[in-house]
Amino acid sequence: MRLGVLDVGSNTVHLQVVDTHPGARPIPTFNYKEELRLTEFLQADNTINDEGITTLRNLIKRAVTQAGIVKVEELLPFATSALREADNGGEIIANINRDFEIDLQVLSGEEEAKLTFLAARRWFGWSSGRLLVIDIGGGSLEIAVGVDEAPEVAVSLPLGAARLTQNFLTGDPFTEKSIRNLRDHIEEQLDSILPALVHHQDTDRAIATSKTLRTLARLCGDWFDGNGKQIKIDSIRKICNRLGEMKYDERAKLPGVSGNRARQIVAGAFVTESVMRNLDLRELEICPWALREGVILKWMDWTEK
């Protein structure tokens, strides 16, 4: 069966197509991605402006067209924090579903965390024991912990790299004051979930997913001791300071850092450092699977019932 997952996130509209069948590993066959940066279209009244709506609709139209070209049998579209939190998000989605004849569903932050955890569990297997899974998106941070396929704790915070960059970081390079305000905000937000996570610190493996964390792992490998498959606490501390001192053009020239990622990698690094320090994590392992794979796996489980 050919499935298409249409991920309408804060940063991108991303169509991932896989071939699979019940009990089989999803095999990627096609990818189509365009930058969106939806948080930049958010107005003071917490609505997405007309330009943002037009941009979103055009990107979704092209992605749906691509899905048809590659003969997707089932399209699984979902939206995350940017549309979830916008006051006119429901209206936008209703119009998109009507006009493009799709069923775009909004995932809650908890659902994102649970689906990402499922993907990590399937990737690492039962022998990996208790997992703590961290995902940093454009609009939110998800953390989940557990020993089964469904986590015991799944939380989401508005600590996405794009959101934090837009709301806090100014200057080029970013000013010390704006970085200090960013760090204070991250600590305040994390304080609200630490009581729920502190007794889960004794995990067997700490896992990182998402493009932001994969990029940081690569930088850890390029700049310090590593192979690009993990993030160590000492390395991320050094990276935070180094990235924070660089100008945008300098960050954009780094290996594996796109123009869009260069804007928000600093915020992503500080979120990573803060999470690792507060949860006393010495190392994060990179998992290639994340939310999109979790959506596929959940759907395939459902079809088998």
For domain 2-106, the question of CATH label 3.30.420.40 is answered with yes
- The residue type found at 86 is A
Q: pLDDT tens digits for 198-231?
A: 766 678 999 999 999 999 999 999 998 778 899 9
For the chain, give every domain's residue range.
2-106, 123-286
Pairing of strands 74-79, 105-106: parallel
Residue 298 confidence (pLDDT): 96
One fold for 2-106 and 123-286: yes
Contact present, 66 and 32 (Cβ < 8 Å): yes
280 burial class (0-12, 13-18, 19+ CB within 10 angstroms)?
A: exposed
Compute the average pLDDT of residues 275-302: 95
* Residue percentage of the chain with pLDDT more than 70: 99
CATH superfamily of 123-286: Exopolyphosphatase. Domain 2 (3.30.420.150)
Q: 33 in helix, strand or coil?
A: strand
Ordered DSSP codes for 197-253: HGGG---SEEEEESHHHHHHHHHHHHHSSS-SSEEEHHHHHHHHHHHHHS-HHHHHT
pLDDT at 305 exceeding the cut of 90? no
pLDDT at 53 exceeding the cut of 70? yes
Contact present, 190 and 183 (Cβ < 8 Å): no
Local confidence band at 278 (pLDDT 50, 70, 90 cut-offs): very high
pLDDT at 92 exceeding the cut of 80? yes
Cα–Cα distance measured from residue 138 to residue 122, given in angstroms and rounded to the nearest whole number: 24
Q: pLDDT tens digits for 150-162?
A: 999 999 999 999 9
Ordered DSSP codes for 85-96: HSTTHHHHHHHH
∠ CA 140-143-145, rounded to 5°: 165
pTM of the model: 0.96
- The residue type found at 130 is R
Q: pLDDT tens digits for 59-78?
A: 999 999 999 999 999 999 99
